[in-house]
């Protein structure tokens, strides 16, 4: 009886959410506040320090690219106890993954935003697997005119 109680308690302790990266990306309203034309300082005040900062020099001008990433999963220890979670869900596969890339002009103004959200529903042995991805891009063509918006949706379902 004691050993069963210990196993149940251990299982409850292992259950829960796991997240990696910048949790602010999970807040769609916060991310929506970042627009083409914003400054580097405005982005930093909303999202803080990026995961990666890259820069390139072209014709004497330095352009920066900031990347933010976030992944989260809900862990159900019963799936792994029964072993099918290792084969169906895999180890390390997130339930949702978000990536935000922000490109700056040499003056520190946002010229392009790329926001990708991918959700994975790898379910169980008796249901279908689904993967859906939404990519939203907002860019200022050649630095002039009005921003252009693109949205692409891709999905896969195993039947």
pLDDT digits (tens, 9 = 90+) for 14-32: 555 676 788 888 888 999 9
- Quote the tokens at residue 85: 């979670």
Distance CA 14, CA 40 (A): 40
DSSP character string of 56-76: EEETTEEEEEEEEEEEEEEE-
pLDDT digits (tens, 9 = 90+) for 104-129: 999 999 999 999 998 887 665 566 77
4 is a domain residue: no
2 is a domain residue: no
> Range of 98's domain?
20-158
15 is a domain residue: no
13 is a domain residue: no
125 is a domain residue: yes
Look at the pTM and tell me if it is higher than 0.95.
no
9 is a domain residue: no
6 is a domain residue: no
* pLDDT score at 141: 80
- Quote the tokens at residue 87: 């084969």
67 is a domain residue: yes
Domain count, the chain: 1
């Amino acid at each position: 009886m004691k050993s069963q109680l210990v196993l149940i308690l251990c299982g409850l302790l292992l259950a829960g959410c796991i997240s990696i990266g910048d949790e602010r990306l999970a807040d769609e309203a916060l991310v929506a506040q970042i627009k083409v034309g914003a400054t580097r300082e405005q982005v930093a005040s909303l999202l803080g320090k990026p995961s990666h900062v890259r820069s390139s020099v072209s014709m004497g001008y330095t352009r920066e690219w900031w990347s933010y990433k976030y992944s989260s999963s809900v862990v159900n220890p019963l799936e792994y106890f029964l072993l099918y979670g290792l084969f169906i869900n895999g180890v390390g596969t997130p339930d949702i993954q978000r990536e935000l890339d922000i490109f700056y002009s040499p003056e520190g103004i946002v010229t392009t935003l790329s926001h990708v959200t991918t959700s994975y529903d790898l379910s169980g042995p008796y249901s279908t697997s689904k993967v859906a991805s939404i990519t939203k891009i907002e860019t200022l063509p050649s630095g002039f005119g009005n921003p252009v918006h693109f949205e692409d949706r891709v999905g896969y379902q195993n039947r």
